[in-house]
Structure 1
Amino acid sequence: MKNTAQLYRMHTDEHICPYGLRSKDLLERKGFEVQDYKLTSREETDKFKEKHDVKTTPQAFIDDKQIGGYDDLREYFDMGPAGQTGTTYTPVLAIFAVAFLMSLATSFAYTAEFNLIKVVELFVAYSMTILAIQKLRDLYTFSNSFITYDLLAMRNIRYAYIYPFAEAFAGIGMLAAISGYIVGPVSLFIGTVGAISVFKAVYIDKRDLKCACVGGDSNVPLGFVSLTENVFMIGAGAWMLYLALWVS
């Protein structure tokens, strides 16, 4: 026979509480039969909170004992905090992983055999483009983070607004096979300035900063990943110039 839990959560025409749904799912995964009580109006919700002297919903009860909200339930079941906490490389690793799979998929779709050079070109181009999108989502927030360590952006804040567009231009330019004379210098310039800036901030000044590589609101630490992004751009710029000068 399943244990029984009572859950009170807000569920109105205007708002369905996501933590209420998460609490219900967690209780069910833990083997409880959930008596799901929906608070269908703001007034009903306020009355419930006043009656039980709580500030938020959902509220779960097990064995007639009030456990609390979703975070309290996780603690009750000896689970860690929900979501990402603290510094993490997950956003950037996710971007690189998807960019790599996209490069493999594109390469296999348009070439009869595996071409390592083409896969690397596509990987760098996709990575740069996706990273640029992350910055372009909120230029103001990105620039606030970027100007704290980029040497050129510190002197001229407008550069912080230009940078994501330049990165997107370089990535898309590689995908479109635009002349290396045009795309190469852009990628080489922003990559070199970025690499020097990150190296100085992290390895010389020993500053503990968040990276703006995936937008200004990330918890990705400034360091190896940021340097890798800039090395990608330097390599891409040099490669495009090489192709324009000696291969074309």
Structure 2
Amino acid sequence: MVGFSANVGKISRAFKSVNALVDTVPVVFGNESLEIDSVDELNIGAVSLSLNEGAFHSYDGNGTEVHLDIEQICQLLSKFDRGSQATIKCDVDKSLVSLLVSGYEFELATIHPDSVRGGRKAGKVDPPAEVTIEAQEIQKAMRLGDMFSEEIIMGIDDSREVFYINSKGDSGNMAVSYNSGDDEITFIENERAHGVFSHSYLYEMTKMIPGNEEISLKLGEEYPAKIEFNFADDDGEIAYGLAPRIVE
């Protein structure tokens, strides 16, 4: 038996961040942290979640991997106050998950590994360029860029130390750039980078991040984009990966 007790708001945010890309995933109840690592069905987007013991009221893990319907759990948790406490227990032998919240108990079936929708463990990618930027800046660019194209261009002009986001469509274009001296951005690794990415994926990845939080954005040439941020008082970490589009 493995499981945990945690604040509904905290676990909802963690699982919704995963559910932005996938709805059924392998969950590893490690000795000291809960881990999720998966890619979406189209092998375009990847998500990794790590929640340390400090994020939970109580935690019991031994390395067991359980395949869960994250979307179903998110839907149930959304019916309760974010300040409530949720307890999840997984009985691997019986292939059952017990969810207890505010006097309600739900018994859910685990997912057979062959039925998990999405790939497994996208692999480690480390693009050479990196900036930290306020989430609200990326979110605003996603909202405005959607008016012109389903493609978002992101990159770094290393000679001028400028990070840019563009959206080019048949009816017009959008462009925004940030210089190294701007308050909204910090250049960690000023390397040349350029890529074309799916707007819809970027929107789903970034929409749940509080606007005033900083995210790490890593890019390169012919590299996936990598978005990382912490939450739950730094006891939780989310990392997204997004493959670039091939431009002919």
TM-score range, shorter chain: under 0.3
More helix by share: 1
Larger fraction in strand: 2
> TM-score normalised to the size of structure 1?
0.20
Question: What TM-score does the superposition give when structure 2 sets the normalisation length?
Answer: 0.20
Determine which structure has greater relative contact order: mean sequence separation of CA pairs < 8 Å that are 6+ residues apart, divided by chain length: 2
